[in-house]
Amino acid sequence: MEVSIISCSKPFAFIWTALLLSSVVGYRPVIIVHGILDGPRQFEILARFINESHPGTNVTTFALYDYIASLKPLWQQVEDFRQAINSIMKRADGVHLICFSQGGLICRGVLATLPKHNVHSLIFLASPLAGQYGDSHYLRYFFPKFIKTRLYHICYTGWGQKVSVCNYWNDPHQRERYLQSSNYLAPLNGEIEHVNLTAWRDSFLRIHILVLIGGNDDGVITPWQSSIFGFYDSDETVVEMENQDYYRKDAFGLKTLDSRGAVVKCVVPGVQHTSWHSNLTVYQTCIDKWLT
């Protein structure tokens, strides 16, 4: 058996080269926030894509609320993710955030409550930004005895709001109950009045580029247009982002960002929900150009 021993100078030389290249090219750090029932392991391929196209980039995926712990209430998760993300926000030219699925909503909460954040590109990867209303294998796993038309009986209660999925469950047939009970998504989207509305809007407007990624073959985000801020009306007809009340009223700054040309939609067919972060075409088409 042959054993190779690597001298200490080689890894230090590699690290020095990577840091030098990063400082010369100017790649901002990238922070990845995972989705429900995920953890850092699911994003190793995405991290490799980033480092292949942007050598020396510091890519961080936090091991926070992994897997079953991702069912914890979102405001609780936001508290810990905010501390972790804030610790990386040291560069004057900013950082990039890539937020997958439920992680997109966590990122919304983090940025709303970080008034001096320096996020340059905020990339939402197949995230239920306008809510979720649909049966999927994820939903059946969490609530096997309920179908979508009855889930509001659980989600729109104080107990239900302690489960992450219920924090963004948006039943279009139970609009008043949603507005009365939602303690996460409705406030974030400015669908209800609250004392933090202006401060959260100002914080959202600090973003330089907002990238919305999704597609009609996702299979989990329902409707899939929720990933680009569209959602059902009471007839379950999809209302696009530009016709949503929170857009027209500019409740949290989305319309203002869009008027600046800072909102990018990237719709890719043929990608299932769990494949977005490992699909090279998605990375090259929708993500790569925004990580400079």
* Whole-angstrom distance, CA of residue 104 vs CA of residue 227: 9
What is the secondary structure of 117-168 as a DSSP string? Answer: --EEEEEEES--TT-B-S--HHHHHH-TT--TTTTHHHHTSTTGGGSGGGGG
Q: Determine whether 218 is an active site residue.
A: yes
Measured CA to CA in angstroms, residue 128 lies from 47, 143, 260 at distances of 22, 18, 23
Neighbour-count burial of 176, counting CB atoms closer than 10 A to its CB (0-12 exposed, 13-18 middle, 19+ buried): exposed
**Catalytic residue, candidates 117, 120, 273, 277:** 273
**Catalytic residue, candidates 101, 121, 127, 181:** 101
If you search the block for the tokens 């090259």, which residue do you land on?
A: 284
* Whole-angstrom distance, CA of residue 225 vs CA of residue 249: 20
CB 241 within 8 A of CB 65: no
**Nearest to residue 128, comparing CAs of 154, 161, 105, 162?**
105
CB 186 within 8 A of CB 178: yes
Q: Determine whether 273 is an active site residue.
A: yes
The residues facing 231 across adjacent strands are: 239
| Angle formed by the axes of helices 102-112 and 74-86, nearest 10° | 70
Q: Determine whether 278 is an active site residue.
A: no
If you search the block for the tokens 């008027």, which residue do you land on?
A: 259
**Catalytic residue, candidates 38, 171, 218, 258:** 218
Torsional class of 125: left (φ above 0), alpha (ψ -120 to 50), beta (otherwise): beta
CA atoms within a 13 Å half-sphere pointing along the CA-CB vector of 156: 20
Q: Which residues have a catalytic role annotated? A: 101, 218, 273
